Amino acid sequence: MLSKKRQRRFLTEKEQHWLQELAVFDESRDEKSLHRLRLEVKKIRALVELAKVRSGKRAAVHFSGLKKMFREAGVIRDAGSQVRFLEERHLLSKEHRERQTRSIQMAAESFAAHIHDYRKKGKKASKRLKTEMHTMHARRVLRWYGREIIRTGLLLSSTGEELHEARKKIKTMLYVQKVLPAAMTKRIRLNTGYLDQLQEAIGQWHDAVVAIGDWAEDNPEGKRAVERECLDKKQAVRTLAAEFQRKIHVT
């Protein structure tokens, strides 16, 4: 059984963490703090996905108070990731780097200007979400995992953004597992090592696709190299995904 108390304690802990990272960013403009903030919000979102089994749309509506902060932090984080991706491959011109740096700085200042609002709405969202947490029996949680596994398997057989959606579902299942009591985790038997390897492979492929998609440099040779890298990373995903049904559970 997943108790209401356990879920509320989890939400309180994650709220404290993202509030702390928000304060760090306000003082330092450290992009890494936004990555950590988004990670904590993703864990809250994962529990919301499970809570929707009982509350329907209400939990999702309450979570919307965290969405704008999460989305805007993602814009800054993704822009920084693209710069690092291209710099590591020596494909970023000085002009492009300077242009991207200015753009990131402007986005960071815009985000900082709304921190008071993000904090206020986020705390209100967390408070309301706690009211939607209810005790869940093991069979209900097991059925939820069964549905998510089927949906993830279907997404993994597709292409493009659907692979990215599969990654989101994998990470959601992994995050939810961290909330569960040990006895329930044993019954689900998720192969966390395999799933983490799979979601990481999808993430690396998706980062490459996004980086090349927004890259406008006149460098045909460099573009071809990254396109080959995208294909190689996608093949790595396909190889891992082909084992999904066999490896999803620990034997």
How far apart, in whole angstroms, are the C-alpha atoms of residue 80 and residue 168?
21
**Residue written as token pair 């009591």:** 181
Average pLDDT, whole number, for the chain?
Answer: 92
pLDDT at 226: 83
Q: Give residue for tokens 């809570």.
A: 51
Between CA 80 and CA 78 the distance in angstroms is 5
Between the CA of residue 202 and those of 107, 108, 145, 242, what are the distances in Å?
Answer: 27, 27, 20, 13
Residues 130 and 149 in one domain: no
Q: Identify the pLDDT of residue 93.
A: 81
Indicate the pLDDT class of residue 205, thresholds 50, 70 and 90: very high
Q: At residue 235, what are phi and psi to the nearest 5 degrees?
A: -65, -35
**For residue 216, is pLDDT > 70?**
no
Q: Distance between CA atoms of 221 and 236, rounded to whole angstroms?
A: 23
As a whole number, mean pLDDT of residues 29-51 equals 95
Which of 118, 136, 154 is the C-terminal boundary of a domain?
Answer: 136
Question: Tokens 């040779």 label which residue?
Answer: 221
What pLDDT was estimated at residue 89?
A: 86
Q: Are residues 132 and 166 in the same domain?
A: no
Task: Please give the residue range of the domain that contains residue 116.
Answer: 1-136
Spell out the residues 6+ positions from residue 206 whose beta carbon is closer than 8 angstroms to its own.
163, 164, 167
Q: What is the pLDDT of residue 90?
A: 86
Question: Can you tell me the distance from the alpha carbon of 59 to that of 53, in angstroms, rounded to the nearest whole number?
Answer: 10
pLDDT of residue 251: 73
Contacts of 53 (CB under 8 A, 6+ apart): 136, 140, 144
Q: Mark whether 119 and 167 lie in a shared domain.
A: no
Which residue among 74, 103, 136 closes a domain?
136
Question: With the C-alpha atoms ordered 164, 169, 173, 178, is the resulting torsion angle positive or negative?
Answer: positive
My answer on whether 142 and 132 are in the same domain is: no
Residue 214, pLDDT score: 67
CA distance linking residue 217 with residue 122, whole number of Å: 39
**CA nearest neighbour of 53 among 136, 159, 131:** 136
Q: CB-side exposure of 38: number of CA atoms within 13 Å?
A: 15
Same domain (yes/no): 146, 60:
no
More confident site: 251 or 179: 179
* pLDDT higher than 80, residue 244: yes
- What pLDDT score does 94 carry? 84
pLDDT at residue 47 in the model = 96
d(CA 55, CA 34): 29
Q: Are residues 107 and 159 in the same domain?
A: no
Q: What is the pTM of this model?
A: 0.92
pLDDT tens-digit series, residues 56-109: 778 889 999 999 999 999 999 888 888 888 888 888 888 888 888 999 999 999
Across residues 41-65, what is the average pLDDT? 90
Q: Per the structure, how many domains does the chain have?
A: 2
Q: What Cα–Cα distance (Å) separates residue 16 from each residue in 4, 48, 193?
A: 19, 17, 28
Which position has the higher pLDDT, 156 or 221? Answer: 156
> Residue 159 — pLDDT band, cuts 50, 70, 90?
confident
Angle at 103 between CA 39 and CA 105, to 5 degrees: 65
Residues 148 and 122 in one domain: no
At residue 149, does pLDDT exceed 80? yes
Is 127 in the same domain as 147?
no
Return the pLDDT at 20.
97
205 class by beta-carbon count within 10 Å (0-12 exposed, 13-18 middle, 19+ buried): buried
Q: Choose one of 115, 136, 157: the last residue of a domain.
A: 136
Q: Which two tokens stand for residue 29?
A: 């403009």
Residue in 207, 223, 194 with CA at minimum distance from that of residue 163: 207
User: What's the pLDDT at 97?
Assistant: 84
Do residues 10 and 119 share a domain? yes
Residues 96 and 208 in one domain: no
Predicted confidence at residue 144, as pLDDT, reads 96
149 and 71 co-located in one domain: no
Q: Place 215 in a pLDDT band, splitting at 50, 70 and 90.
A: low
Are 7 and 45 part of one and the same domain? yes
